[in-house]
Amino acid sequence: MADRKAVKIVSDQPDFLQFNNLACETAGGNVIFATDEWFAPASNLLKVLEPPEFIASAFTEYGKWMDGWETRRKRIPGHDWCIIQLGVPGIIHGLDVDTSFFTGNYSPSASVQAACLDESPALTLEGDRTGMAASDSQFEAVAKLHSESWEELVPVTELKPGYSDTCHNYFPINYPSRVTHLRLNMYPDGGIARLKVYGVGQKDWSALPTQDQLDLVALVNGGVCLGYSDAHFGHPRNMIGLGRSANMGDGWETARRLDRPKNLQVDGKGILQVPGYEWAVLRLGHPGVISQIEIDTNHFKGNFPDSCKIEACHLTPEEEGKYVSGRWSSDPGNKWRVLLQPQKAHHRHFYSCDSLAQSGPVSHVRLVIAPDGGVSRLRLWGVKPL
């Protein structure tokens, strides 16, 4: 079958965009404090299922409706800031401070600080907070965090306006420690549409009993996508998100392959005979022995793959680095072994150990779909080795 080489990220986009968004609302991210939310609430920062939008005719009783976090024009000392609790604590590799549609009202500068807290603060923001600001009691409670002294991930930096060609303010992060909370500072006020926190979840595997079954590739357990052939409509990292998918945008979906035969044929098992396929490579949160697989095409009703298979291997960090740098374009060590033979894929499928090839611990998997289409969730249940 004809493989499609790994896509290349557009040159002006950083490599860290392949990682998971640890702060988004679908991963459990939450804004727990904000100094001011007059025009638009800070919770909008973590929306992920819809890109920022602008509605010219939309107004609230407080002013222009904006799809992001926007504070009032400050007329008192200080600057605006908020505290974000990550949905998935982990190692952060990069940030995107997105100012989409904030053109004459974006925050001139911003900085980001981080902390790893042993316990979640007793701080919550509930309901629509448009037109509101932090109360004296909320300021007293958040002061106990001493967030002004947290580690600096991004120093005070000028932001670009929210036009389509300048709205993404990318910041690569080189910080090796686990992070649970972020402080986003705006100087002095203004608006930011979205904050995306790209990284890899970090779980304490030492505290997990050896025989406990766990989804080894889940976002919350440290799974991550490391490469793919195509992601025209949806990134493969969506497949390892929490729960079942919300819609088609919350899954992996490719473009239609142009090398499909003009008249399609099937084999004796009803599987289409096509020359090409698409693939995505994921690293497990911890090497383990996979005993059950779930492949879910929820919401992909007219665009599910015809078939899918799963390959697996065990790679050292050095071997992984070579594959990543080569964009998974070759397999010089013949590492990949079939874990699940090609299967029809058109709804929620569960495959037990009887359907899987026997293998030892694996660290990476490659989901192969033919000829193209969408998959909403991938679950790989197993145990870490003794």
Write out pLDDT tens, residues 231-240: 999 999 999 9
CA neighbor of 192 nearest in space, from 304, 7, 43, 369: 43
Picking from 1-10, 21-30, 146-155, 197-206, which range would have the lowest pLDDT averaged per residue? 1-10
Q: What is residue 204's predicted lDDT score, i.e. its pLDDT? A: 85
Picking from 55-59, 186-190, 289-293, 351-355, which range would have the lowest pLDDT averaged per residue? 351-355
How many helices, marked H, and strands, marked E, lie in the chain?
2, 24
Q: Give residue-wise pLDDT tens across range 139-182.
A: 999 999 999 999 999 999 999 999 999 999 999 999 999 999 99
Residue 267 has pLDDT above 60, yes or no: yes
Return the number of other C-beta atoms located less than 10 Å from residue 269's C-beta. Answer: 10
CA neighbor of 218 nearest in space, from 7, 28, 16, 14: 28
Q: What is residue 271's predicted lDDT score, i.e. its pLDDT? A: 95
- Percentage with pLDDT > 70 across the chain: 96
CA dihedral (72, 76, 81, 83) in degrees, to 10, reads -100
User: What whole-number distance in Å separates Cα of residue 368 and Cα of residue 238?
Assistant: 16
Q: What is residue 73's predicted lDDT score, i.e. its pLDDT? A: 97
- Strand, coil or helix: 222: coil
Contact yes or no for 123/181 (Cβ under 8 A): no
DSSP 8-state symbol, 142: H
Between the alpha carbon of residue 13 and those of residues 145, 157, 201, 221, the distances in Å are: 34, 19, 22, 26
User: What whole-number distance in Å separates Cα of residue 199 and Cα of residue 334?
Assistant: 29
User: What whole-number distance in Å separates Cα of residue 285 and Cα of residue 220?
Assistant: 9
Q: What is residue 3's predicted lDDT score, i.e. its pLDDT? A: 60
Mean pLDDT of 41-69: 96
Picking from 11-25, 41-55, 126-140, which range would have the lowest pLDDT averaged per residue? 11-25
Q: What is residue 325's predicted lDDT score, i.e. its pLDDT? A: 87
Contact yes or no for 218/377 (Cβ under 8 A): no
For the entire predicted model, the pTM comes to 0.90
- Please list the residues that pair with 364 across neighbouring strands: 283, 313
Residue 9 has pLDDT above 70, yes or no: no
Residue 8 has pLDDT above 50, yes or no: no
